[in-house]
Structure formats: C-alpha cells, structure tokens
Amino acid sequence: MTDASKLYAELITSIGEDINRDGLQKTPERAAKAFSFLTQGYQQSLEDIVNGAVFDSSNDEMVVVKDIEFYSLCEHHMLPFVGKAHVAYLPQGKVLGLSKIARITDMYARRLQIQENMTKQIADAIQAVTGAVGVGVVLEAQHFCMMMRGVQKQHSSTVTSMMLGEFRENSRTRQEFLQLIK
C-alpha cells in the first residue's frame, strides 16, 4: 500500500465504514491513484509542457482558443470545480502550438486551486512563453463545494478574468475577445 492509499483506508474507516467489505477492498488504492492523476500538475513544468512548440510567425492577429474544458479541485475543500477556459493572445513574432494552450490549462487545473489564481497563472504562462502584446483569459466554472454542501446552489457559475497588456489597456481588443467567446 502506498502512503496515500493507507490514508484513504483510514479516512474510510473514520466514517464508520468497513474497509474489508467487498466493494471497498480496493477503494483506497483506486482513490489514491485517482487523486494522484487529479493533482499531476505538480509534477509538470511549463517548460516540459511547451516543449519547444513556440514558432516564428508574422501573424499579429488575435489567437483565441475557447471552450477548453477543465476539471480542478478547490484548495479549500478538495472538491471539484469544473468549467471552461477561454484563452486569447496577440502575438508579436511568436505563436504557441494550439494544443499547448489546452495543456497549460490542464497543468494548472490539476493542482489544488482557487479559480482566481488559476486564471492568473494561465495568463502569466501564455505571456511568458509567447512574449505576446497582450493576453486575455476568462474562466467560467461550477464549484461542487457550493453545489453539494454550504449554500447548495446548483446553478450558479463563477466567472473570473485576467487581462494583460493590450487586453487590459485597449478596450477594443478586450471587447473583440469577449465578443468572440460569447
């Protein structure tokens, strides 16, 4: 048994369950494996994820990747929050492989997070990797800690945004982005 699966066994026992009953025998190992997958972002770095996929380009028009689904865990309750990320940047000489934007989103999602910080981390990463004139990131998510417990609101969603450079300073750029992700 790994450390994490021992801890899951204790946790299950602590709620009064019988760890030896048929359905639960392998649960600690399965749960530990799932938890390790859901937090694998800690084992990844921006450099590894990007892996050289930054290319010279004369394109200076806005690049938008929208509706990137993500699954994260809130750092306050370790319950899921799930939603979509919309990411845009204005290149100046360099573009990033499109799938990398989704991978960067996943790397930050698969850590213990709050949505506000995750939004900023994605924006800062895109900025650092591309040297873009501006970056815009909008995240919309539903938080299970609000749905299953606490205020028990099933239909509210939380929207966070981070605008850097031109997206912060130029309202037309920002509007174009917000229009494109509607």
| Residue (24 or 114) nearer to Zn ion, CB | 114
Closest CA to 85 of 162, 176, 145, 147: 162
Q: How many residues bind Zn ion (CB under 5 A)?
A: 4
**The only residue of 74, 88, 90, 164 in contact with Zn ion, by rule CB under 5 A:** 74
- Catalytic option among 74, 86, 113, 121: 74
Catalytic residue among 77, 92, 140, 176, which? 77
Q: Shortest Cβ distance from residue 139 to Zn ion (Å)?
A: 15
Tell me the closest approach of the beta carbon of residue 83 to Zn ion, in angstroms. 14
Annotation says 77 is catalytic:
yes
Closest CA to 157 of 144, 145, 143: 143
Secondary structure of residue 55 in the 3-state scheme: strand
Active site residue 74: yes
* Residue 21 token pair: 């009953």
Rounded CA separation 32/78 (Å): 14
User: Any idea which residue has 């306050």 for tokens?
Assistant: 76
Q: Is 153 in the site for Zn ion (CB under 5 A)?
A: no
Give backbone dihedrals phi and psi of 119, rounded to 5 degrees, phi first: -60, -45
Select from 103, 119, 91, 117 the least CA-distant residue to 40. 103
Under the binding rule (CB under 5 A), the answer on residue 76 touching Zn ion is yes
Among 49, 114, 145, 178, binds Zn ion (CB under 5 A): 145
Q: Are 89 and 61 in contact (CB under 8 A)?
A: no
- Rounded least distance, CB 48 to Zn ion, Å: 28
SS3 64: strand
Among 12, 27, 35, 77, binds Zn ion (CB under 5 A): 77
Binding status of residue 38 toward Zn ion by CB under 5 A: no
Contact residues for Zn ion (CB under 5 A)? 74, 76-77, 145
Question: Active-site residue numbers?
Answer: 74-77, 115, 143, 145
